[in-house]
Copies of this chain bind each other. A is one copy, B any other.
């Protein structure tokens, strides 16, 4: 079932709203194994709308159109598709009665335009719109099925879930629901992960493997359909984890912060931070999670050298000798905050967020130290790319990566 989703509305082309309807419809169709091959947006312009529907009808089995069914002059979906469908528009009496009743109940004057919303194609399957005025419609044209839905998200969703989806499942025998799992990895780059799984990715059919890189992490979406979808996913996952399991932290909606919280809880450990360029962002993310009080005491945010001395307790001669952006300073920040916060583990961040250089070092240079129990602290220098925000975010993410790998190997 080759599907295309077309939104009609100038407000989308002006950027006043995002096309979240297409996203929502795509997500629900993906679950049933329907292939969405194109999204399109066209404005309230007759010529371009007509052309868009023509192109779509030549390449897709199902065309889902959202928007352009309202009462105003701009609402041109019906008229634009009419020459293609070669069907007349007729008044849908049930809808007209409903519209008239709404206007009567509100003591408002009905205009000629309001009747327009009751127009449907003469051979359409009319879909009752419980949430609004204009009904949905399903119309066949040669080998193509056109589905017309209102652009208002609540109306579109209700029609889609209750009427269109059951219709499509029946018409296209979309029996097999798709099973999908997103495997989440940290500490390995996208290309390195792909390299490890090269042969699997080359051979993929069912399940498919789709890599997705995001800020400091990589995801692999495994998707399978058919009778044994679940066990196929489980088998492939197990093969993948044999090769790259050390970088895997969880699946689907789990975040690395939640994983770290869970590991801390399992190991009955508390964590604190000493932060300079990250400004408290590391500890804030942990505290943002329910259950944080069991695993987190707090953090020391010391942005200036003065604060590093007085709030954290970094000796002033260490700062004079090595500067605050140094391995030595990061180490002492971790050791001191572990003591002052009375936590099992403490992590520290010091570096240059930019845009300017600092203490003779480039923007992006960051030292992170991790101190656990009485072991000597781990410390490492990084050089992150990007602007001020990105450097800070990457540092925080790297911090979670370090804590995760440490806790995982306990």
Contact = CB atoms under 8 A, between A and B. Distances in A.
Given A105-B383, A212-B11, A298-B307, A37 B42 contact: yes
B15 A18 contact: no
Given A22-B41, A278-B284, A280-B280, 8 more contacts: A12-B26, A15-B30, A39-B41, A72-B190, A108-B189, A132-B385, A287-B303, A311-B340
A241 interface: no
Size bracket of the A interface: 35 or more
Interface of A: 10-20, 22-30, 36-43, 45, 48, 52, 55, 70-74, 102, 105-106, 108-109, 111, 113-114, 130-133, 154, 158, 189-192, 194-195, 201, 210-213, 221, 273, 275, 277-281, 283-288, 290, 292-293, 296-304, 306-307, 310-311, 340-342, 355, 382-383, 385-390, 392
Given A40-B39, A301-B299, A307-B297, A387 B111 contact: no
Closest 9 CB pairs of A and B: A280-B280, A279-B287, A15-B27, A15-B26, A39-B41, A298-B307, A299-B301, A105-B383, A279-B284
Given A130-B386, A192-B109, A390-B131, A27 B16 contact: yes
A225 to B, nearest CB: 13
- Residue among A20, A211, A303, A390 with max Cβ neighbours from chain B (10 Å): A303
A287 to B, nearest CB: 3
A19 B40 contact: no
A112 to B, nearest CB: 9
A389 B297 CA distance: 19
DSSP majority for the A interface? mixed
8 contacts: A13-B37, A16-B212, A16-B221, A108-B189, A131-B385, A131-B387, A300-B311, A311-B341
B288 A301 contact: no
A223 to B, nearest CB: 8
Nearest to A340: B311
A211 B72 contact: yes
Contacts of A108: 189, 192
Contacts of A212: 11, 16
